[in-house]
Copies of this chain bind each other. A is one copy, B any other.
Amino acid sequence: MLYFNNDYAEGCHPKVLEALCRTNFDQTPGYGEDAYCAEAARKIRALCGREDVAVHFLVGGTQTNMTVIAAALRPHQGALCAVSGHIHVHETGAVEATGHKVLALPSEDGKITAAQVRQAVESHRNDGSFEHMVQPKLVYISNPTELGTLYSLAELTALSETCHELGLYLFLDGARLGYGLMAKGNDLTLPDIARLCDVFYIGGTKVGALFGEAVVICCPALKEDFRYLIKQHGGMLAKGRLLGVQFDALMTDNLYFEISAHADALADRLRDTLLSLNVPFLVPGVTNQLFPILPDSVLDKLSEKYVFCEQQRVDETHRAVRFCTSWASREEAVDALCGDLRLLFGKN
């Protein structure tokens, strides 16, 4: 079987594995206070173009989201996010388990707008019983989103300005950040993100690492005591240097960006094939996730050879599915899939 169901089916990039093997018997202080973490953080600060940001390494995405949000909010405050946001639907209520409501906003494409944020905050503030309602205080976005879409520089700038005008934090979940940054048509850079967001993370788990997310805290108020929060929420790895070693490798010689570009290029190849076959998409996208709408007959046939994700039924004979490429995807596998698609559509 060839796997296109997600971007975490394999282990890690060979260079990351090599670094782990090479450093395996080094003796270092625990809990992220080692030289590898320091060096990885230094490289990330340089890539962000800001010496003043704090960088922390956590193990996984849900853990990172709940730790950042718990660190940022007082008990009566909540996080605005798209109705499709990962914290709203796929983290088993981890944010609520820290005591905070997720305030979902409607969204077709996984994104929310500055206007929606403003409207939510103003309608809260203007309500006569505002103290009976959760106070919006943080905006959670993911980029790329759960639907593979991207924020433009203009959109992120508008969100940032609105959040800061209204006194909200802007938090960007970058579980797949590399795939977004390297996508065709993306106009956001890491320094833009570090300038516009209060806190964000650079995902490692889905982009070449065994595991790990690098949290970048830009807003001074969010920096204080963050390590206590990591420890309390179970995210402080005893052998913290494993995170430093991996991110050091990924941030060396552009590795993180090259392997992201590789996945995007293969996704583009698959996307072009689908478009050439006039296959419609649930959501248009430019990153490593594709959501084509295909006939059941085609999907049944494909499933004999390929693994992919069910997304949703669209009509009686069609459903939307998700295909993912990743840093680990092989060109031949994508070509095989493209070939089979053309065959099934009688277009060879």
Contacts and interface: CB of A to CB of B under 8 A. Distances in A.
A9 B28 contact: yes
A17 B28 contact: no
B132 A90 contact: yes
Given A17-B24, A24-B11, A92 B211 contact: no
A271 to B, nearest CB: 22
Given A75-B71, A92-B232, A238 B225 contact: no
Contact of A76 (B62, B75, B93): B93
A233 interface: yes
B225 A239 contact: no
Contacts of A231: 62, 76, 91-92, 94, 131-132
A92 B134 contact: yes
Given A132-B231, A233-B94, A10 B26 contact: yes
Interface stretch (A96-104, A183-191, A261-269): A96-104
Given A92-B76, A132-B91, A239 B227 contact: no
Interface residues of A, number: 75
B6 A30 contact: yes
B30 A20 contact: no
Contact of A59 (B59, B98, B128): B59
Please indicate which of the listed interface residues A12, A21, A97, A239 has the most CB atoms of chain B within 10 Å of its own CB: A97
Please indicate which of the listed interface residues A11, A205, A225 has the most CB atoms of chain B within 10 Å of its own CB: A11
Please indicate which of the listed interface residues A70, A210, A229, A238 has the most CB atoms of chain B within 10 Å of its own CB: A238
A153 interface: no
A21 B17 contact: yes
Nearest to A88: B101
A296 to B, nearest CB: 17
A236 interface: yes
A298 interface: no
A160 interface: no
A237 B309 CA distance: 19
A78 interface: yes
A92 B92 CA distance: 21
Interface of A: 1, 3, 6, 8-12, 14, 17, 20-21, 23-31, 59-63, 66-67, 70-71, 74-76, 78, 89-94, 96-102, 128-129, 131-135, 205-206, 210-211, 225, 227-229, 231-239, 242, 309-310, 328
Given A90-B133, A92-B228, A234-B234, 8 more contacts: A10-B24, A59-B234, A62-B236, A70-B75, A89-B133, A90-B129, A90-B132, A211-B239
